[in-house]
Chain A
Amino acid sequence: MYAREELLACSIARLIGDAGHVAVGAASPIPAAGALLLKQKKPSLRLSFLHKRKGNPFSEGSRELFDLAGQGRIDVFFLGGAQIDGQANINLVRAEGRRFPGSFGSAFMYPLVPRVILFREEHSPRVLVPKVEFVSAAGNPLALLTGKALFAWQKDRRRFRLESVHDGEDVRAQTGFDYDAPPSVPRTPAPGAEELALLRGAVAREMAASYPDFARKVWGID
């Protein structure tokens, strides 16, 4: 048995692949868990966590992340959205009369970081819409990972393609935008024994320092 968060962290680790430098923002602890999992297997991976409570990878203030990205020194970054549409635009500003916090650095990071992974746990027609109400940022992502499915981005067709589903359920009705899909959609690979051992050991301990609520919920660590 494994938690959904563990499967998502394993998917994140696979998506990061052979990247050299991964930056993780505040959006969700799951990208952080995935990056820490990969670091266990590949110690040379450089991780810059923006919202560590103790310590900080930067010494030049909050602009250093953007200066690094502007030079191409960040390979992977994670973005989410109140809405994400079928053209891979993200909206962090407003929808259905509701105001959200704002675009943060997304408008800059999305086009400049070579591998942006869109991540949003909620997979519903409310979030995955045909057209966002406000384009905070536009770009060509590596993939879109949700709590139910993994989509690859087809840059030439500007359309998502469904790669796998986590629970075997059909997600078409839960997805507000149109996308391509193979005739038979595979299941997202389950975490292996080695991955689960790493997640529940070293990764869980590191996560507890910066994301105590998450570590308590998923692994029962205090």
Chain B
Amino acid sequence: MTPDELAGEIPDGALIGLPPDYSLVAMEAVRALVRREARALRLLGVPQLGLCADLLIGAGCVAEIETSAVTLGEAGLAPRFTEAAQQGEILVRDATCPAVHTALQATEKGVPFMPLRGVLGSDLIPGRPDWRVVQNPMSADPDPILLVPALRLDVALFHARWADEAGNVWVGRRRELATIAHAAQRCFVTYEEKRAGDMLEDELLAPGVVSSTYVTHIAPAPRGAWPLGVPDLYDIDDAHLMRYAKAARTREGFQRYLDEFVCTPAKSSSPAASPA
């Protein structure tokens, strides 16, 4: 399966869990979603989003987004998200990082909700009718606590360092990707390299594995996280991110970026590998 075929398996309107820019983003598959003109996607940032969300929003693929933030980090605000949010073109459901983790952990455990400390006093709560503040039933003293409902994703989409012959993928310490996979009905993973054998048989590799139990489809995509990074393989391409941030300030500039780096298949892949 190719990243484009994988993107073809993600239907319009799907609720997709995506990682932040520092955590193995399946950028080639995201570009493929833009190429196939996906529509009305609902994105969940686990717990925040960056370039992938900005690309999808700018290309008109997104109806709703739930996240604790959208940022390009050192490259500044995410310009297409910022404009779409300001003009009301997408629905933004503001969250806070641990609320996203907790909602997915509830789904991992198969329970309907989980409590979370903090957050009380934040205007996030009036904006979230799906969240509930209740009295701690275990306490005799007044003790209000937030409950967040379990959140089940239609699709998990991320990139991995390795896939193996058993269908497992390796994400190392990026355990939020495991949480996304566990809480999704279908999980699509692009990967850098194929390994022989079964990584779950290797004590050193096993703790970084997302088991094939959760993985629906894999697709090879060398340098598939570019212009974001893969630890120990290639770094985030800061210069390219700055270039994107500048280009995407206007719709015209964003369109030119898409034409050059996303929509023309010959140019959609990253430059030749350089030592990370």
Contacts and interface: CB of A to CB of B under 8 A. Distances in A.
B99 A108 contact: yes
Contacts of A108: 96-99, 116-119
Interface in B89-111: 92, 94-99, 101, 105
A105 B98 contact: yes
B190 interface: no
B168 interface: no
Interface string A16-41: 00000000001000000000000000
B33 interface: no
B122 A63 contact: no
Contacts of A61: 23, 173-179
B37 to A, nearest CB: 25
B34 interface: no
A66 B98 contact: yes
Contact of A51 (B22, B70, B92, B119): B22
A106 B82 CA distance: 20
A135 B178 contact: no
Give the interface centre of B99, B101, B177 by most chain A CB atoms within 10 Å: B101
Contact of A102 (B70, B101, B173): B70
Contacts of A136: 122-124
A135 B117 contact: no
B68 A102 contact: yes
A101 interface: yes
A59 to B, nearest CB: 5
A109 B118 contact: yes
Interface residues of B, number: 45
B69 A99 contact: no
| Interface SS majority for chain A | loop
A101 B78 contact: yes
Interface string B231-271: 00001000000000000000000000000000000000000
A156 B92 CA distance: 36
B164 to A, nearest CB: 21
Contacts of B224: none
A174 interface: no
A63 B179 contact: yes
Given A61-B175, A61-B177, A70 B117 contact: yes
A137 interface: yes
Nearest to B104: A63
A139 B121 CA distance: 8
Give the interface centre of A70, A98, A107 by most chain B CB atoms within 10 Å: A107
B241 to A, nearest CB: 13
A132 to B, nearest CB: 9
A103 B94 contact: yes
A29 B129 CA distance: 36
A104 B97 contact: yes
Given A101-B71, A102-B69, A105-B47, A63 B101 contact: yes
A134 B123 contact: yes
B20 interface: yes
A5 B190 CA distance: 42
A137 B176 CA distance: 24
B143 to A, nearest CB: 13
A58 B118 contact: no
Contacts of B48: 101-102, 104
A70 B124 CA distance: 19
A60 B73 CA distance: 22
Contacts of B274: none
Interface in B209-236: 235
B120 A63 contact: no
22 contacts: A61-B23, A61-B174, A61-B178, A61-B179, A62-B176, A63-B47, A63-B97, A98-B82, A99-B82, A99-B92, A100-B77, A102-B67, A102-B70, A103-B122, A108-B97, A108-B117, A109-B118, A111-B120, A134-B123, A135-B123, A136-B123, A137-B122
Interface of B: 20, 22-23, 46-48, 67-71, 73-74, 77-78, 81-82, 85-86, 92, 94-99, 101, 105, 116-124, 173-179, 235
